[in-house]
Amino acid sequence: MAKRWKNTLTSADVTPEEHYLNRRQIIAGLASIGLAGGAAIPALAAGDLKPDTWDTITSYNNFYEFGTDKTDPATYARALTTDPWSIQIDGLVERPGTYALGDILAKMTTEERIYRFRCVEAWSMVVPWNGFELADLLQMAGLKGDAKYVAFETLHRPEEMRGQNYPILEWPYVEGLRLDEAMHPLTIMATGIYGKPIPNQNGAPIRLVVPWKYGFKSIKSIVRITVTDTQPPTSWNKAGAREYGFYSNVNPQVDHPRWSQASERTIGGGLFAKRKPTLMMNGYEGDVGKLYAGMDLSKHF
């Protein structure tokens, strides 16, 4: 098994569930947390905002497979069938095959991970995920010696995912990580939020979470994982290479061509809330910075 990551965050650091699910609100405040190497990482503190109704909470989300409007996923994702579910694992692995999700979960160590989450749209939050380390899944499949990258693919089922009937992106949605990124203890496969199964509109039944990268790297509703020796294509990079690089590490020094990444809004504070500085690699630089030693992060953005 991969080296376990020690979680020292508490519920006091968590963005309240109603604020996580409703991106129209923004929290204010900071708290200090620590990771297993002793590095202190600023995290958002919970706010005291009045919760919205359940309908409002679950009606604002990005998942283009169900449409481009923020209310589309909650409206249409109920059509998605998530049970049974399986993941095809292939490429440079010793034990390729199609694995039932239940069989995978029976072999994994599932735990809560409370992570900062930073969207490329320049808002942020703290989310308590439930999941397991991707490294454990890759080790279960057995990595071959020439493995260098890991590619991911979202379900393609236009009859249930209505947005896939339109050329919003090239379907199916695909993402990728370098192998050392995929094997890092912070990288998880999430199956729950707040101790509950992930809602369909948020990527049920299983998604990737890479906390030092912009949120679109955390691909949803995964059905295929391919280990390869070649850097895989990624959906947003294919759609706009000038705006979305392969690495997509949170970096306040590298702006999006259409807006600054130097600061961010925290969920719960309102549209005109004071922005706060964005942390390099979303505050996880002390844990993952060594993965990019010697790289020009303005070129490899």
Has 76 been labeled as part of a binding site?
A: no
Tokens of 67: 């449409």
194: number of Cβ within 10 Å: 16
Going by C-alpha positions, the residue among 203, 196, 274 that lies closest to residue 27 is 274
292: number of Cβ within 10 Å: 17
User: Are 198 and 232 within 8 A, CB to CB?
Assistant: no
User: Are 206 and 183 within 8 A, CB to CB?
Assistant: no
Has 65 been labeled as part of a binding site?
A: yes
Has 207 been labeled as part of a binding site?
A: yes
Has 61 been labeled as part of a binding site?
A: yes
Categorise residue 38: left if φ over 0, alpha if ψ from -120 to 50, beta otherwise: left
Has 220 been labeled as part of a binding site?
A: yes
Has 202 been labeled as part of a binding site?
A: yes
- What residues form DSSP beta bridges with 115? 127
Angle at 291 between CA 290 and CA 292, to 5 degrees: 90
Amino acid at 58: T
In whole angstroms, give the CA distance from residue 269 to residue 24. Answer: 9
Known binding-site residues for Mo-molybdopterin equal 61, 64-65, 119, 154, 202, 207, 218-220
Known binding-site residues equal 61, 64-65, 119, 154, 202, 207, 218-220
